Amino acid sequence: MSAALKSMPFDIAKIRKDFPILDAQVHGKKLVFLDSAASAQKPRAVIDAMTHVMEAQYANVHRGLHFMSEKTSDAYEAVRDKVAALLNAASRDEIVFTRNATEAINLVAYSYGRSALRPGDAIVISEMEHHANLVPWQILRDQHGVELRVAKITDDGELDFASLEEQFADGKVKLLAITQMSNVLGSYTPAGRLAAFAHERGAKILLDGAQAVVHRRIDVQAIDADFYVFSGHKLYGPTGIGVLYAKAELLEAMPPFLAGGDMISSVSYASSTWARPPARFEAGTPAIIETIGLGAAIDYVQAIGFDAISEHERRLTDHALAVLSDIEGLKILGQAQDRGGVISFTMAQAHAHDIATLLDRQGIAVRAGHHCAEPLMGRLGVSSTARASFGLYTLPEEIDALAAGLNRIKQVFGG
């Protein structure tokens, strides 16, 4: 191992002790978990925070004038402040809790898409979107008459700005909905540049931050993002809680997505009026326990610091690219200049599903398939890839174990 890798920006051995699952054995081997981009493991602080709400102070939020309800409501609402600080939002009221990034995008497509966009307007996405940032816009296209356009990526897996220019050329584009980091190629897109690009052409921008928020400090004001979405479960928090950030003036003008309790101002049989955002977009009993778990996850990553997290990811990625490139027959998909800890690859000797199954026998968890990005697979000329992805607990030795595992597979398949 190189000296640079030995001196990681934080004490990983200590971090790993915070994640109980990392001691697990799989098929009699020590777990090597390289699937954090699908969902990250949870630190003890998150598990404890969720257990604590249930054991010590659980009640429904925003409803009861009793001790437990007030305590839980305070804990729940405090997470809104934590998320606002995480994203550097101008106001806590710009933070809407959703179930996940997917629901946040659907909320925008349904509410903003059907109220602010007109038939004939166009939406641009890129060739490297997760289905979550494609299918909701397809439905909007089919039901509301907007056009859906796709900006190309280069062979290196970067956004092709010439293609983006072309998509915007006729002035019809009103929304650019784009990932900040590809869950397949690991490529980052230049969020601030894209926001300026969209705004100069009279469009809004939605950034899918499901992957990026895990690895980098996000500043929605510096980016000038109109909408920003992410999921708690990839950020070391629980499932069932996600976030939509939107600028206050946009949320104010948006009609509800889901309707019912908590999102109203008044209700009669004749008509109802809506609460102000963010309550307007949080119908029904929310994911109270999960939200509090997300708050603990945010505290956890903030305590480590995003400078250290980004630096760790950079060193791991450089190491992984170096060791994987040495394996004959292995092809890494995506060579973006600005890329992070998600590496998709194919092997001449074995199918992606065989790779994942055989690695699993060695205790190594990677993902195989189309990664919810079928059109991107078509663009790359493959039907599936294997994907290794890293979290803040990932060790360089685990990447070495992956490389050794792949070399063994190569031998099994006679490569």
Which residues are the active-site residues? 372
Query: Of 212, 239, 409, nearest to 313 (Cα)?
Result: 212
Cβ closest to ligand PLP, residue 105 vs residue 327: 105
Shortest CB 282 distance to ligand PLP, Å: 17
Binding of ligand PLP at residue 98 (CB under 6 A)? no
Q: Which is nearer to ligand PLP, 107 or 324 (CB)?
A: 107
Between residue 106 and residue 135, which ones bind ligand PLP under the rule CB under 6 A? 130, 132-133
For position 385 contacting ligand PLP by CB under 6 A, the verdict is no
Query: Interacting stretch for ligand PLP, rule CB under 6 A, among 149-157, 165-173, 204-212, 285-293?
Result: 204-212
Alpha-carbon torsion 245, 249, 252, 255, what sign?
A: negative
Closer residue to ligand PLP in complex, CB, 122/132: 132
CB of 215 to ligand PLP, least distance (A): 12
Among 211, 317, 349, 394, binds ligand PLP (CB under 6 A): 211
187 is a contact residue toward ligand PLP (CB under 6 A):
no
Hey, what amino acid is at 264? I
Q: Name which of 134, 117, 194, 127 is nearest 158 in CA terms.
A: 127
| Largest separation between any pair of C-alpha atoms in the chain | 73
Smallest distance from the beta carbon of 156 to ligand PLP, in angstroms?
Answer: 18
Residue closer to ligand PLP (CB basis): 390 or 405: 390
Nearer of residues 187 and 349 to ligand PLP, judged by Cβ: 187
Q: How far is the CB of 205 from ligand PLP (least distance, A)?
A: 15
> What's the angle, vertex CA 235, arms to CA 231 and CA 241, rounded to 5?
35
Q: How far is the CB of 37 from ligand PLP (least distance, A)?
A: 6
172 binds ligand PLP (CB under 6 A): no
Q: What is the dihedral of CA 168, 169, 173, 177, to 10 degrees?
A: -10
**What's the closest the beta carbon of residue 33 comes to ligand PLP, in angstroms?**
16
Please, which residue, 31 or 372, has the CB nearer to ligand PLP? 372
Choosing from 41, 72, 163, 179, the residue that interacts with ligand PLP (CB under 6 A) is: 179
The 3-class SS string of the chain reads: CCHHHHCCCCCHHHHHHCCHHHHCEECCEECEECECCCCCCCCHHHHHHHHHHHHHHCCCCCCCCCHHHHHHHHHHHHHHHHHHHHHCCCCHHHEEEECCHHHHHHHHHHHHHHHHCCCCCEEEEECCCCHHHCHHHHHHHHHHCCEEEEECECCCCCECHHHHHHHHCCCCEEEEEEECECCCCCEECCHHHHHHHHHHCCCEEEEECCCHHHHCCCCHHHHCCCEEEEEHHHHCCCCCCEEEEECHHHHHHCCCCCCCCCCEEEECCCCEEECCCCHHHCCCCCCHHHHHHHHHHHHHHHHHCHHHHHHHHHHHHHHHHHHHHCCCCEEEECCCCCECCEEEEEECCECHHHHHHHHHHCCEECEEECCCCHHHHHHHCCCCEEEEECCCCCCHHHHHHHHHHHHHHHHHCCC
User: 125, 159, 207, 210: which one contacts ligand PLP (CB under 6 A)?
Assistant: 210
State the nearest-atom distance from the C-beta of 2 to ligand PLP, in Å: 30
Phi, psi of 159 (to 5 degrees): -65, 135
Which range, of 23-31, 100-108, 109-117, 353-361, touches ligand PLP by CB under 6 A? 100-108
Is residue 100 a contact residue for ligand PLP (CB under 6 A)?
A: yes
The one segment of 75-83, 96-104, 170-178, 196-204 that binds ligand PLP by CB under 6 A = 96-104
Q: How many residues bind ligand PLP (CB under 6 A)?
A: 13
Which range, of 25-33, 208-216, 377-385, 398-406, touches ligand PLP by CB under 6 A?
A: 208-216
| Minimum distance, C-beta of residue 370 to ligand PLP, in the bound complex (Å) | 12
Q: Does 167 bind ligand PLP (CB under 6 A)?
A: no
Taking CB under 6 A as the criterion, the residue among 41, 106, 111, 231 binding ligand PLP is 231
* 101 or 395: CB nearest ligand PLP: 101
Taking the least distance from each CB to ligand PLP, the nearer of 34 and 101 is: 101
Residues contributing to the site for ligand PLP (CB under 6 A): 100-102, 130, 132-133, 179, 183, 208, 210-211, 231, 372
